[in-house]
Amino acid sequence: METQLSRAEKLDRLFGTPVFAVIIAILCNAMWGSAFPFIKLGYRLFAIDTADTASILCFAGVRFMLGSVLVLGGSLLLEGRLPAMPKGKILAECCALGLWQTTAQYAFFYSAVALLTGAFGGILNSTQSFLGVIFAHFLYGRADRMTPAKALGCGIGFAGVLIATLGNHGGGSARGVAYMLIATVLFTLAGPWNKSVTRRADSFAVCFVNLFVGGAALFLLGAVLGGRLEHWSVLSVLDLLALAFICGAGYIVWALLMKNNPVSRIAIFGFVNPVVNVLLSALINGEPLFRWQYLGALVLVCIGIWLVNKAPAKKERAR
């Protein structure tokens, strides 16, 4: 007699299916790509100055705390129950992950968003796709190793980012570039850590603690520094709710993907992020769409993605 799988086990099996995982990774990155222009829109709706770091942190903190509530709703919807919260050392590790992946990463990310155009910032942020593949090789060895195709793909992808950076005219400040690159490294390093924690605790619980603790720390830090959110309106609330959905749904899906797949299989689809960024930044925030350095960078990044994700030769698979 076959053992009846729980809803959580069915979810793990579904997210571990390669074709489904690829499709969901693309959709997840498309959602995250839409976040950049909506964050910039939120700054305008709440009248947050690009130099007002304290209010920027408050804005980010509210978003992630709202997102954590949506994670609980996602658990009820998908698993029919609230997540089992971790205890002891695992809870402490989840809190530490939240301070790293949400507080530290997004403190730099949100500051970078204020200083960069959506198109340029999104292309810079795409480096996380290639860094994920590189770090996976050193962390997982033969289980997720670098191949000549992956190495070539990473090189071409980084060349695309370099073109966007060297050809940057009015896309943002050097400080914004530095902040975005720091945020990218923090995000990439959080991937294997997230994968490790979700193997020892409920994925939804890890996401909830990550977002709530990280978001609360961002908000408290901003409030202590004198930040505040003013100019509340229907549009500003809708913008915050949209951003909360993006992070809540995105974190749930990404945690399930990281738990059930090799990092390089899904991390590389971050190329969708800058493409959506460029398009929505033009549509929502009126940024220039056709700049040769952005279009050239996107083409090279997409070629790099294809090479990195290219199926290995039969001889290589047999080893």
Per-residue pLDDT tens digits for 183-199: 988 988 887 788 788 88
Mean pLDDT of all residues in 175-185: 88
Rg, Å, the chain Cα set: 19
Mean pLDDT of all residues in 174-181: 87
The verdict on pTM exceeding 0.85 is no
Report the 3 state secondary structure along 37-66: HHHHHHHHHCCCCCCCHHHHHHHHHHHHHH
pLDDT of amino acid 202: 87
Q: At what angle do helices 174-198 and 127-140 cross, to 10 degrees?
A: 40
pLDDT of amino acid 62: 96
pLDDT of amino acid 318: 36
CA-to-CA distance for 46 and 60, rounded, in angstroms? 12
**pLDDT-derived band of residue 263, with 50, 70 and 90 as boundaries?**
low
pLDDT of amino acid 315: 42
pLDDT of amino acid 91: 94
Q: Is the pLDDT of residue 308 over 90?
A: no
Give percent of the chain above pLDDT 70: 86
CA-to-CA distance for 304 and 218, rounded, in angstroms? 34
Q: What is the DSSP string of 202-248?
A: -HHHHHHHHHHHHHHHHHHHHHHTT-------HHHHHHHHHHHHHHH
Question: Which of 29, 13, 84, 82 is CA-nearest to residue 259?
Answer: 13
Q: What are the residue ranges spanned by the domains of the chain?
A: 11-309
Average pLDDT in the chain: 82
Mean pLDDT of all residues in 238-255: 88
Convert the pLDDT of each residue in 126-171 to its tens digit: 777 677 777 766 666 566 677 777 788 888 887 877 776 665 555 6
Q: Is the pLDDT of residue 311 over 60?
A: no
